[in-house]
Amino acid sequence: MTRQTTSEPYQEPLTEVDVAAYLRAHPDFFVRNLSLLEILRVPHPTHGAVSLVERQTSVLRERNRQLEHKLKELIQLARENEQLGANLHRLGLGLLQADSLDSVLALTREQLCDEFKADEVMVRLIGPDASGAPYFCTPDDPGLAHFAGLFEHRRPVCGRADPQQLDWLFGAEVAEGLGSAVLIPLFDTEPLGVLALGSRDAVRFHPSMGTLFLGYLGELVGAAVSNRLGRT
């Protein structure tokens, strides 16, 4: 008599990747198999073994702390931006009422020192004959060569400025005490000059800070200067 045998089809054993993929596809698996949660253990780096639920709770708490920290940062940033917007609004109103170039520059210095927390503020303007005023320079002034990149890119620059730039703007004695600065190009159709803010704090104006409001500041001051010079 012949014995018949049946062979079971061979199946590859499940891998960790297979199990993980299944659990991702069926996130309610443990809801339908609660008893497994009582025996599963997940290694913990400092407290031995903990249940999967405890581990998940720990992870969620840490994620919640991170989200709360991020939310606080965003709220603080929103408050700072709101204050910057209000400061720009006040400066814009003041510039509209300024009746002379000297008034425009004096108001700009006062507002930026008081409300924008700058230790030093300087405006250097480009004029055909320098007009005899200390804040003017002629278009062929050698110092302007240090600002060719600033005028080319037409964007504010923050951080530790080139010492030659700071010396030309503030004078060597003042420039030596500055830890950080902002340089803002002023334009109408052509370069008008440079608005510079200096701080003795090395991190007050840093390269990673946003420049959107600084760009608005340059546009406001540039427009006010251009109007008082009769160029528009």
pLDDT tens digits, residue range 185-227? 999 888 999 999 999 999 888 888 878 889 999 999 999 998 8
Question: What's the confidence (pLDDT) of residue 120?
Answer: 94
- pLDDT value, residue 40: 67
Q: Is the pTM of this model over 0.85?
A: no
| 121-170 pLDDT per residue, tens | 999 999 866 555 778 888 889 999 999 999 999 999 999 888 999 999 99
Residue 38 has pLDDT above 70, yes or no: no
In the chain, the number of structural domains is 2
Asked whether residue 86 falls in the same domain as residue 164, the answer is: no
User: What's the start-to-end Cα distance of the chain, in Å?
Assistant: 113
How high is the pLDDT of residue 29? 83
pLDDT of residue 124: 92
Determine phi and psi for 120, rounding to 5 degrees. Answer: -140, 140
Is 139 found in the same domain as 170? Answer: yes
Separation in Å, CA 142 to CA 30, 49, 139, 146, 213: 75, 72, 9, 8, 30
- 89 and 104 within one domain: no
Q: Which H or E run includes 41?
A: strand 41-44
107, 76: one domain: no
Classify residue 8 by its DSSP letter: P
Q: Between 117 and 105, where is the model more confident?
A: 105
In a domain, 9, yes or no: no
Q: Specify whether 93 is located in the same domain as 140.
A: no
Q: What is the pLDDT of residues 55-99, one digit of tens each?
A: 677 777 888 888 898 898 888 878 877 887 888 888 889 998 888
The answer as to whether 75 is a domain residue is yes
**What is the per-residue pLDDT for 200?**
93
User: Please, which pLDDT band fits residue 51 given cuts at 50, 70 and 90?
Assistant: low
Are 146 and 217 found together in one domain?
Answer: yes
Do 90 and 135 share a domain, yes or no? no
pLDDT band at 48 (very low <50, low <70, confident <90, very high): low
* Rounded Cα distance, 185 and 219, in Å: 9
Burial group, residue 53, by CB count within 10 angstroms (0-12, 13-18, 19+): middle
Q: What is the CATH number of the domain that holds 108?
A: 3.30.450.40
Domain with 26 in it:
16-97
